[in-house]
Amino acid sequence: MAQVFPRTANEFARASLVVGGVVAAAVLGSLLFVFPRSSYMTRQKEAIAQPVPFYHLHHVGGMGVDCRYCHTSVDKSAVAGIPPTKTCMNCHSQIFNQSPTLEPVRASWRNGTSIEWKKVHDLPDFVYFNHSAHVNKGVGCTTCHGPVDKMAYVWQEKSLLMEWCLECHRQPEKYLRPKGEVYSTAWQPPSNQLELGRKLAAEYNVKTQVTCSTCHR
Amino acid sequence: MSQEHVPSTPVTLEGVRRTGGQRRYWKSLDELADAPAFLEFLHREFPEQASMFQDPKGRREFMTLMGASLALAGLTACTKQPEETILPYVRQPEQLVPGRPLFFATATGHDGYARGILVESHEGRPTKIEGNPEHPASLGGTDVFGQAHVLGLYDPDRSKAVLYLGQQRTWGDFKAALREPLAKQQAKGGTGLRFLTGRNTSPTLAAQMRSLIAAFPGAKWTSWEPATRDNSRAGAVLAFGEPVEAQYRFERADVILSLEADFVAGHPASLRLVREFAARRKPAGETPEMSRVYVVEGSPTSSGASSDHRLALKSSEIEGFARAVAAELGVVVQGGVAHAWAAPVAKDLKRAGARALVMVGESQPPAVHAIGHAINEALGAVGSTVSYTAPAETAAGGEAQSLAALVAEMRQGVVEMLVILGSNPVYAAPVDLDIASALDKVPFRIHHGLGNDETAARSHWHLPASHPLESWGDLRAADGTVSIVQPLIAPLYHTLSELEVLAAFTEGEQKGHEILRAHWQDALGAADFEKRWNRALHDGVVAGTAFEAKALRVKPGAWASAGATPPPGSGLEIAFRTDPAVFDGRFANLGWLQELPKPLSKITWDNVALVSPKTAAELGGVKTEQTASGHVTELAELTLDGRSVVAPLWVLPGHADGAVTVHLGYGRTRAGRVGSGVGFNAYALRTSDAAWGRGGLQVRKTGGTTLIACTQDHWTMDATPHHQAEERHIVRSVTLAELAKDKHAIQKLGHEPAPGLSMYPPHEYKGHAWGMTIDMSACVGCNACVTACQSENNIPVVGKDQVGRGREMQWIRVDRYYEGTPENPETYHQPVVCMHCENAPCEVVCPVAATVHSDEGLNDMVYNRCVGTKYCSNNCPYKVRRFNFLLYQDWTTPTFKMLRNPEVTVRSRGVMEKCTYCVQRISRARIDAKNLGREIRDGEVVTACEAACPAQAIVFGDVNDPESRVSKLKAGDRNYGLLAELQTKPRTSYLGAVRNPNPEIPGAGSEGQQHG
């Protein structure tokens, strides 16, 4: 019986082994290196629906409310603070006080039960991030949280992976801004950012902090 | 592997010294004998096969589970973070900044007496106890019970509901049920109404009781504690005619004689006494100076271990010694028993005069207390080192008698309604009273307490009590100072406080806060009340409430003549003592305390019958075998007056011969999931006339054995690595005379390594460089640091089985070393934390860089990187690393989630952990300082162990700052590094122990001078 495959088919077979290996390596590689970094895993850029349609777009972008009106402990504590219902009611007992969308807020105020907000920026439990250490040193809100004034429901702008943290912790001068601009949503890094950053780092006593116990304890 | 704890020939001092007369320090009799079992421990990181799974039945199941969990563990890397919610406040409380703890001043009652505390509260959850520096009975220090106070709040076995005959009821049901019997009592003037409480120092409760008894004139109130202070009160009555409290001032005393007084742990003012004691035990400078302490005791205590001279006498023999010393000092007493120490001790006391003091322990009969008062008066110490004030408790002394009277009334049927508040007499009352059967004769019995305990089971109604961290109240310290007890959290369950329950008998429904404020409004006066009230709440003390000193003279009396106390009966003498970990049994369900190695025996999870080596020999030898799962020791039946219990025998060096010590607080049947069925119940032998011990004990070995989890040989550092001549001087001690002669005496005991010998380039520390010193001269071995660390760092409890295998997780261990013969050795305590070596042996062997060096010299442990190879632990010469062999942390009990420190990662199985120098506290101080634009100041970073230490033996700070306290101590003459010859450059260093022996004490002259 004649050969079904010609001799050259051996070359194809060999080549397919190599190609198969490369494909397998690529798949494995993407699983190990790409997949954990994908936005599917990190939930990056995924707007999270909340029990109350609270829009930063409206409050920050439209009305120009300062970050610290609600996130009162951002410069004092590890956590920025999610505002108590009282903060909402400061205005909404007067305006839109019949709006059906705000019923969960009024219910919370009436019953004394908390509104269950969905957590957007969720670090692993072995990571200890401190807001005050950053905002008091010239790291702006939008540097990590992105254009909050343009978000309806807030999404996580950055990956929050450790490599992302270290990028700034190794070279803080790339991201620092003057303290007066920390809460500004309009601030854009100038063309001489590195120069400015170095100057601010010296002025604010900003050091590269890459020791494990800076964040892990 | 077994070791007879009875030397065939007496161990001589020469026998336990190294060649050349060097001192040899040993941790156990096995070590002293170089037993193979000890060497096994020494050379292995964990006992043999301890790292293996040894439960044959569960092996297959274990493999299945492990396989499944491994697969799951692998998959977790591919899962997203779980979705979480944030629940903000509706109205955020004033002063609260989310993420920042608040501290509130309140007080804990220990044995009735207040100890001021500051409670750390995270968004309303109390998580950690610190001492209150402004409180006279704390001065900033805490003890193990204070630290465990917060665990008591979250104890999942606390009573949660009102019970009637074991069935759940409501408070309304109880109040309805109370109405008719109470009306009946009202009609007959309360002649059948009786109240039983613990020792009470609360002015408000006392006032409430007074008005209750005014409403029910025939009613009676009995207060009683198992740890009775009847002897000292009766002694004061003998001497002065009134039951006064003696207030001691150790900081003014040059010479202290303790006659079985355990000032480290057994006194209401212990924390202050330890602070003052330690302040005089830290010699420094060109002319070092320190106090001299003599302790005469039968059962070894931390006080005896910290003394310069310890005389082991049976409890009953101490009276004769006291009389002999008194006679030498010109006090007219009879019945002195000649002792070689009496004359030199008396001479030393006389020399110090007004700067001396004698303190007598509760276990001594009243006559000895009177003699102690007479000696103090003769020395001129009154007004200098001792003063007398009114007692803090409402009913001082005679507690045992009043309980006996109550029980007699119960038997006669006089008592128709009995209300027991915060007391557990069915478990702890003298056994001869047989209170359980007497209770059955009372037709209406109410028990109010934290737990559904032995007494609750015998009562009709059990009412759940609010924890002191949930309720309003007040307490007096031993010096009279009042503290307001304020709640840190609303009651977790439907519970009421004592004040609220008592209110139900008269005023009806009233909140504790209203009752307390009403009382203090009367007491403090209306003028400026709000201001003074807020100040009292803020400071934790009500200003100006300490008692005035009384001018008293000792009256001559019958106590001076001998024969007041009956001679001990035949057989051995038994001594009952409260337990250093679970006290009188009330803390039995607290895992932190159960797992605490006891200061001297280093036993966990058990009580034992302690005997001296000689008494053990007389009993035919006590065989204690060290195995891979713990110590197997022999059981004996202890019989006293026809009652008997079976107890494990344990040889304790330094115990008085002819006596047996048993600790109370164990053998509970209804303590909860942790404390029930642990140990044996020593109360079963304790009678009314023998609160602290007596003669006539028979001990018979049963032939059985039991397993004891004792940590004394765990984590032993190798003192003689190659051959005996190269001693590593882990413990260093000298006498004051030696230090005065050569201030480098301690440093000369070892050889510091030459600098620059390391093959690795040295680290550079540009900013802070954290370091610690631990003063072995000041450390009294009280264990407060261990529990404080456990609380601060979310350290799990592993259980007796795991401790037996050498897997205890506490990050600090307090190594107890003996020096000298087992009959009466000197004792040293050495707390060992991570050394944070600059050349850390652990760092270089970690294959995944999970333990790394920080730029401030911390040896960081990164849990999320750790894969559990345990190489680091194998390579640590200090054996300070702890491995989570199993899932030790309780991840499910809801109340324990509230207990955790949110600043510290909760570790899971398979992860290595160890002391971090409280890196969360460093971070907090750093961020706070940087936010204010300044550097961290010295003393701003206080580690949990340092904060808790009543002796201030631990000092933490920046060694790069030459002005910091720690730098100055490290530059001192007593500073030495542990195993520094290994080139590890430890950041934790020790200040060598100094003892101040009197050369005139027989045997001390030669012993004291023979240092290596």
Instruction: Name residue B199's beta-bridge partners.
Output: none
Percentage of chain B lying above the pLDDT 90 cut = 74
pLDDT for the residue B721: 58
Q: Using CA atoms, how far apart are residues B838 and B438, in angstroms rounded to an integer?
A: 66
Q: Band of the pLDDT at B663, cuts 50, 70, 90?
A: very high
Residue B291 and residue B159 in contact, taking contact as beta carbons nearer than 8 Å: no
pLDDT for the residue B981: 83
In angstroms and rounded to an integer, the radius of gyration of the C-alpha atoms of chain A is: 25
B544 phi-psi bin (left φ>0, alpha ψ -120 to 50, beta other) = left
Mean pLDDT (whole number) for B105-116: 93
Q: Which of B5-9, B220-224, B995-999 has the lowest mean pLDDT?
A: B5-9
Q: Using CA atoms, how far apart are residues B645 and B876, in angstroms rounded to an integer?
A: 43
Cβ count within 10 A of residue A49: 8
Q: Band of the pLDDT at B11, cuts 50, 70, 90?
A: very low
Q: Reduce the DSSP state of residue A136 to 3 states and report it.
A: coil
pLDDT digit string, tens, across residues B194-205 = 999 999 999 999
Helix B230-240 vs helix B399-412: crossing angle, to nearest 10: 110
pLDDT digit string, tens, across residues B824-858 = 899 999 999 999 999 999 999 999 999 999 999 99
Instruction: Name residue B851's beta-bridge partners.
Output: B861
Phi, psi of B514 (to 5 degrees): -65, -45
Across chain B, which distance is largest between two alpha carbons, in Å? 91
User: Residue B254: pLDDT above 90?
Assistant: yes
Residue B192 and residue B417 in contact, taking contact as beta carbons nearer than 8 Å: yes
User: Residue B943: pLDDT above 80?
Assistant: yes
Q: Reduce the DSSP state of residue B988 to 3 states and report it.
A: strand
User: Residue B17: pLDDT above 90?
Assistant: no
pLDDT digit string, tens, across residues A142-172 = 999 999 999 999 999 999 999 999 999 999 9
Q: How many residues does chain A have?
A: 217
B863–A contact, CB cutoff 8 A: yes
How do B659-663 and B975-977 pair as beta strands?
A: unpaired
Residue B1008 and residue B994 in contact, taking contact as beta carbons nearer than 8 Å: no
Integer distance in angstroms from the first to the last C-alpha of chain A? 73
Residue B400 and residue B691 in contact, taking contact as beta carbons nearer than 8 Å: yes
Are the Cβ atoms of A84 and B88 closer than 8 angstroms?
yes
Q: Using CA atoms, how far apart are residues B451 and B157, in angstroms rounded to an integer?
A: 7
Which chain B residue is nearest to residue A138, measuring alpha carbons?
A: B931
**Whether the complex's predicted ipTM surpasses the cut of 0.85:** yes
Integer distance in angstroms from the first to the last C-alpha of chain B? 32
A196–B contact, CB cutoff 8 A: no
pLDDT for the residue B78: 54
The DSSP output letter for B426 is H
Q: Reduce the DSSP state of residue B114 to 3 states and report it.
A: strand
Mean pLDDT (whole number) for B723-729: 60
Are the Cβ atoms of A137 and B930 closer than 8 angstroms?
yes
Q: Which of B272-286, B326-340, B582-596, B602-616 has the lowest mean pLDDT?
A: B326-340
User: Residue B753: pLDDT above 80?
Assistant: no
Q: Using CA atoms, how far apart are residues B771 and B837, in angstroms rounded to an integer?
A: 10
Please name the amino acid found at residue B740.
A
User: Residue B305: pLDDT above 60?
Assistant: yes
Are the Cβ atoms of A216 and B923 closer than 8 angstroms?
no
**Sheet strands (E) in B523-642:** 572-577, 603-604, 609-611, 623-627, 630-640
pLDDT for the residue B25: 83
Cα of A132 to nearest chain B Cα, Å: 7
Burial label for B699, CB within 10 Å (0-12, 13-18, 19+), is: buried
Residues of chain A in contact with residue B862, where contact means CB-CB under 8 angstroms, are 212, 216
Mean pLDDT (whole number) for B621-643: 91
Cα of B787 to nearest chain A Cα, Å: 19
Q: Using CA atoms, how far apart are residues B76 and B70, in angstroms rounded to an integer?
A: 10
Residues of chain A in contact with residue B923, where contact means CB-CB under 8 angstroms, are 128, 130, 213-214, 217
Angle at B491 between CA B466 and CA B449, to 5 degrees: 15
**Sheet strands (E) in B591-737:** 603-604, 609-611, 623-627, 630-640, 643-651, 659-663, 693-710, 733-735
Closest CB from B85, B767, B856 relative to A116: B85
Across chain A, which distance is largest between two alpha carbons, in Å? 94
Q: Band of the pLDDT at A34, cuts 50, 70, 90?
A: confident
Q: Band of the pLDDT at B990, cuts 50, 70, 90?
A: very high
Read off the tokens for A182. 């920390």
Read off the tokens for B921. 């506290």
Mean pLDDT (whole number) for B201-215: 92
pLDDT digit string, tens, across residues B441-496 = 999 999 999 999 999 999 999 999 999 999 999 999 999 999 999 999 999 999 99
Strand arrangement, sheet containing B25-26: B25-26, B813-819, B826-832
pLDDT for the residue B758: 73
Mean pLDDT (whole number) for B569-588: 90
Q: Band of the pLDDT at B37, cuts 50, 70, 90?
A: confident
User: Residue B169: pLDDT above 80?
Assistant: yes
Q: Band of the pLDDT at B151, cuts 50, 70, 90?
A: very high
Phi, psi of B861 (to 5 degrees): -115, 120
Instruction: Name residue B104's beta-bridge partners.
Output: B119
Q: Band of the pLDDT at B21, cuts 50, 70, 90?
A: low
Q: Band of the pLDDT at B748, cuts 50, 70, 90?
A: confident
Q: Band of the pLDDT at B1004, cuts 50, 70, 90?
A: low
Q: Reduce the DSSP state of residue B450 to 3 states and report it.
A: coil
pLDDT for the residue B372: 94
User: Residue B1009: pLDDT above 50?
Assistant: no
Q: Band of the pLDDT at B54, cuts 50, 70, 90?
A: low
Q: Using CA atoms, how far apart are residues B217 and B225, in angstroms rounded to an integer?
A: 25
Alpha helices (runs of H) in B498-539, residue ranges in sequence order: 498-503, 512-524, 529-539
Are the Cβ atoms of B83 and A119 closer than 8 angstroms?
yes
Helices and strands (H and E) in chain B: how many: 32, 41
Are the Cβ atoms of B933 and A124 closer than 8 angstroms?
no
Closest CB from B81, B86, B767 relative to A124: B81
Alpha helices (runs of H) in B902-964, residue ranges in sequence order: 919-931, 944-948
Across the A:B interface, residue pairs with CB atoms under 8 Å apart total 126
Mean pLDDT (whole number) for B689-705: 91
User: Residue B330: pLDDT above 60?
Assistant: yes
The pLDDT mean for chain A works out to: 92
Q: Reduce the DSSP state of residue B482 to 3 states and report it.
A: strand
Q: Using CA atoms, how far apart are residues B949 and B967, in angstroms rounded to an integer?
A: 19
Q: Band of the pLDDT at B3, cuts 50, 70, 90?
A: very low
Q: Band of the pLDDT at B510, cuts 50, 70, 90?
A: confident
User: Residue B5: pLDDT above 80?
Assistant: no
Which chain A residue is nearest to residue B793, measuring alpha carbons?
A: A217
Cα of A84 to nearest chain B Cα, Å: 5
User: Residue B160: pLDDT above 50?
Assistant: yes
Cβ count within 10 A of residue A63: 9
To probe the interface with A, which of B78, B79, B84, B90 has the most A CB atoms within 10 Å? Answer: B90
Please name the amino acid found at residue B623.
K
Q: Band of the pLDDT at B114, cuts 50, 70, 90?
A: very high
B77–A contact, CB cutoff 8 A: yes
pLDDT digit string, tens, across residues B852-888 = 999 999 999 999 999 999 999 999 999 999 999 999 9
A78–B contact, CB cutoff 8 A: yes
pLDDT for the residue B285: 82
Residue B871 and residue B846 in contact, taking contact as beta carbons nearer than 8 Å: yes
The CA–CA distances, whole Å, from B286 to B283, B741, B749, B969 equal: 9, 10, 19, 14
Q: Using CA atoms, how far apart are residues B570 and B573, in angstroms rounded to an integer?
A: 8
Q: Band of the pLDDT at B567, cuts 50, 70, 90?
A: low
To probe the interface with A, which of B923, B932, B941 has the most A CB atoms within 10 Å? Answer: B923
Instruction: Name residue B611's beta-bridge partners.
Output: B651
Cβ-defined contacts of A8-15 (< 8 Å, 24+): none
Of residues A28 and B454, more confidently modeled: B454
Residues of chain A in contact with residue B81, where contact means CB-CB under 8 angstroms, are 43, 122, 124
pLDDT for the residue B837: 93
Angle at B276 between CA B307 and CA B691, to 5 degrees: 60
The pLDDT mean for chain B works out to: 88
Closest CA to B658 of B601, B703, B613: B613
